[in-house]
Amino acid sequence: MGISHYIKEIGRGKDGARSLSREQAADLLGQVLDGAVTDLEIGGFCLAMRIKGETPEEMAGFLDAVQQRLNLLPASGSPTVVLPSYNGARKLPVLTPLLALLLAREGMAVVVHGTPTESKRVFSSEVLTALDVPALAAIKPIAPGEVVFAPTELLSPALKRLLDVRRVVGLRNSAHSLVKLMNPAAGKSLVVSSYTHPEYAVSMAATFALVGANAMLLRGTEGEGVADARRSPQMLGFIGGQRTVVQEGLRGTLPSVPDLPKAIDAASTAAYIRAVLAGTSPLPPAIAQQVEHILHLVRQL
């Protein structure tokens, strides 16, 4: 087996590289996740794909490989909202846990999944712990109205190892995009995903369409899937891969911006989230709108 013949195709440089078919991409990543290749091959794959960039067909193939190997959270008879959370907070508080708890308050079963991908950010896992939502230790169904945090290593130890390659080589790889697209929940579910740069909006939308996903896609907060409280972003919906615009975006900062905590540590963020849920601090309108759009999409499942 081995993946050297694939690396030869994708590793010819930005202009000379050839793209893989969906089936080839699934085979390549499947071998990586199954531990059938060397560390040197994994490094070559990560760097070559980083230089070339993934096509939607390649991302769909990578997703095929991941989905076949995930430890799925069982269906519970209620639609599940999936919130990938891998970027964390750099300048603004990470409010993915607030989005999760607001959705749970509306009766949704919500899974936040993620893992710290670098050392200098505050991650949803830390905020959720401060909110008394511990990380799952085993796969289990999620009840309506419940929020759980699923560490990536619980869903796929191999995918976690691929994410950790960044700590060695200092660059993101295809796994960092995959985790924002994958769906670890069996049964009816909706993935809420985000992008950081406009080119990813195009490629991620095309991938959702190719795999027939149920999803929301927006430019969130510092790479997190929660709407930026300072803006009114465009939000796309996908049901069975069919794309709709659920909210038109407005350029620039909103005329009235809610007060956010200046400190972004887990304790300060958790205290702010508690205040919003209790009604003593205002809910940012952009996040309130996102909740309504997610509920509308879920009703179409």
Indicate if 110 and 248 belong to the same structural domain: yes
Structurally, the chain folds into a number of domains equal to: 2
Residues forming beta bridges with residue 244, ordered by sequence position: 237
For residue range 139-150, list pLDDT tens digits in order.
999 999 999 999
Checking if the pLDDT of 252 tops 70, the result is no
Q: Does 276 lie in the same domain as 139?
A: yes
Q: Which has more pLDDT, 177 or 167?
A: 177
Which pLDDT score, from 0 to 100, does residue 257 have? 61
Instruction: Yes or no: say if 229 and 260 are a contact pair by the CB < 8 Å rule.
Output: yes
Among 82-96, 152-166, 246-260, which stretch is predicted with the lowest mean pLDDT? 246-260
Residue 74 lies in a domain: no
**Mean pLDDT, range 198-207, rounded to an integer:** 91
167 and 134 both lie in a single domain: yes
DSSP string, 28-55: HHHHHHTT-S-HHHHHHHHHHHHHH---
Same domain, 58 and 84: no
Same-domain check for residues 65 and 162 = no
CATH number for position 57: 1.20.970.10
Is residue 45 packed enough to be buried (19+ CB in 10 Å), middle (13-18) or exposed (0-12)? buried
75, part of any domain: no
Distance CA 85, CA 115 (A): 8
* Mean pLDDT on 82-110: 95
State the chain's maximal CA–CA distance in angstroms.
60
Please tell me whether residues 87 and 58 are part of one structural domain. Answer: no
Query: Whole-model pTM?
Result: 0.94
pLDDT computed for residue 71 by the predictor: 97
Which range marks the domain in which residue 97 is found? 80-298
- Decide if pLDDT at 1 tops 80: no
Task: Tell me the mean pLDDT in the region 181-201.
Answer: 93
What does the pLDDT read at residue 14? Answer: 72
Q: Are residues 31 and 116 in the same domain?
A: no
Q: Are residues 293 and 245 in the same domain?
A: yes
pLDDT digits (tens, 9 = 90+) for 253-294: 655 567 788 899 999 999 999 999 999 999 999 999 999 999
